Structure 1
Amino acid sequence: MQRHLRIFPLIAALMAALATSASANPERWKSEWPNTDFTRSSITDWTEIMSGGPPRDGIPALSDPKFRKAASESRISAREPVITIEINGQTPRAYPIRYLTWHEIVNDKVGGVPVAVTFCPLCNSGMVFDRRVGGKLRTFGVSGKLRNSDMVMYDAETESWWQQAIGTGIVGAHKGDVLKQLPSWMESWAEFTARNPDGLVMDEPDWGRAYGRNPYVSYDSSSRPFLYWGEMPPHGIAPLMRVVRVGKRAWPMNRLSDEGEVRESGLIISWVAGQASALDARKIGEGKDVGTVRVRDASGRNVAHDVMFAFAFHAFFPRGKWMLPK
Structure 2
Amino acid sequence: MFLLNHLFAALLLVLLGSSASANPDFWKHEWPETDFAKTSVTNWVEILSGGPPKDGIPALSDPQFIRAEQETRIGALEPVIVLEIAGSDPRAYPLRYLTWHEIVNDTIGGVPIAVTFCPLCNSALTFDRRVAGQTLTFGVSGKLRNSDMVMYDRETQSWWQQALGTAIVGDLTGTELHLLPSYMQGWAQYMAENPSGLVMVQPPHNRRYGRNPYERYDSSKRPFLYSGELPPHGIEALSRVVRVGARAWPMQRLREETVVREAGLEISWRQGQASALDAGTMAKGRDVGSIRVKDGQGRDVPHDVMFAFAYHAFWPDGTWMLGN
Shared fold per TM-score greater than 0.5: yes
Specify the SS of the correspondent of 2:283: helix
Deviation at 1:162, TM superposition (A): 0.1
Alignment of 1:284-323 (within 5 A): 284-323=282-321
Partner of 1:277: 275
Partner of 2:149: 151
Deviation at 1:7, TM superposition (A): 8.9
Return the alpha-carbon distance in structure 2 between the equivalents of residues 248 and 75 of structure 1.
37
Alignment of 1:172-187 (within 5 A): 172-187=170-185
1:225-277 deviation per Cα after TM superposition (whole angstroms, max 9, x unaligned) = 00100000000000000000000000000000000000000000000001000
Specify the SS of the correspondent of 2:252: helix
Deviation at 1:12, TM superposition (A): 7.5
Q: Tell me the amino acid that sits aligned with residue 275 of structure 1.
A: Q
Partner of 1:227: 225
Specify the SS of the correspondent of 2:269: strand
Deviation at 1:89, TM superposition (A): 1.1
Specify the SS of the correspondent of 2:30: coil
Aligned length: 320
Alignment of 1:108-147 (within 5 A): 108-147=106-145
Do the aligned residues in 2 keep the contact of 1:65 with 1:106 (CA within 8 Å)? yes
Alignment of 1:84-103 (within 5 A): 84-103=82-101
1:86-115 deviation per Cα after TM superposition (whole angstroms, max 9, x unaligned) = 111110000000000000000000011000
Partner of 1:51: 49
Do the aligned residues in 1 keep the contact of 2:68 with 2:199 (CA within 8 Å)? yes
Do the aligned residues in 2 keep the contact of 1:5 with 1:219 (CA within 8 Å)? no
Return the alpha-carbon distance in structure 2 between the equivalents of residues 14 and 191 of structure 1.
38
In the superposition, the TM-score normalised over structure 2's length comes to 0.96
Q: Tell me the amino acid that sits aligned with residue 123 of structure 1.
A: C
Q: Tell me the amino acid that sits aligned with residue 150 of structure 2.
A: V
Alignment of 1:258-269 (within 5 A): 258-269=256-267
Deviation at 1:6, TM superposition (A): 11
Partner of 2:201: 203
| Structure 2 CA distance for partners of 1:159 and 1:89, relative to 1, 3 Å | same
| Structure 2 CA distance for partners of 1:68 and 1:304, relative to 1, 3 Å | same
Do the aligned residues in 2 keep the contact of 1:93 with 1:200 (CA within 8 Å)? yes
Partner of 1:22: 21
Q: Tell me the amino acid that sits aligned with residue 131 of structure 1.
A: R
Partner of 2:63: 65
Deviation at 1:4, TM superposition (A): 3.1
Partner of 2:5: 4
Which range moves more in the overlay, 118-127 or 26-35? 26-35
Do the aligned residues in 2 keep the contact of 1:245 with 1:306 (CA within 8 Å)? yes
Return the alpha-carbon distance in structure 2 between the equivalents of residues 5 and 170 of structure 1.
32
Deviation at 1:14, TM superposition (A): 10
Q: Mark the runs of 5 or more structure 1 residues left unpaired by the alignment.
A: none
Return the alpha-carbon distance in structure 1 between the equivalents of residues 53 and 322 of structure 2.
39
Deviation at 1:122, TM superposition (A): 0.1
Return the alpha-carbon distance in structure 2 between the equivalents of residues 5 and 129 of structure 1.
33
Specify the SS of the correspondent of 1:201: strand
Deviation at 1:42, TM superposition (A): 0.5
State the identity %.
64
1:163-221 deviation per Cα after TM superposition (whole angstroms, max 9, x unaligned) = 00000000000100000000000100111110001100000000010000000000000
Specify the SS of the correspondent of 1:37: coil
Q: Tell me the amino acid that sits aligned with residue 20 of structure 2.
A: S
Do the aligned residues in 1 keep the contact of 2:89 with 2:198 (CA within 8 Å)? yes
Return the alpha-carbon distance in structure 2 between the equivalents of residues 7 and 184 of structure 1.
28
Specify the SS of the correspondent of 2:29: coil
When the two chains are superposed, the root-mean-square deviation of aligned CA atoms in Å is 1.7
1:258-303 deviation per Cα after TM superposition (whole angstroms, max 9, x unaligned) = 0000000000000000100000001001000100000000110000
| Structure 2 CA distance for partners of 1:265 and 1:121, relative to 1, 3 Å | same
Return the alpha-carbon distance in structure 2 between the equivalents of residues 91 and 256 of structure 1.
29
Q: Tell me the amino acid that sits aligned with residue 172 of structure 1.
A: G
Partner of 1:38: 36
Is residue 2:238 matched to residue 1:240? yes
Specify the SS of the correspondent of 1:290: coil
Return the alpha-carbon distance in structure 1 between the equivalents of residues 243 and 182 of structure 2.
13
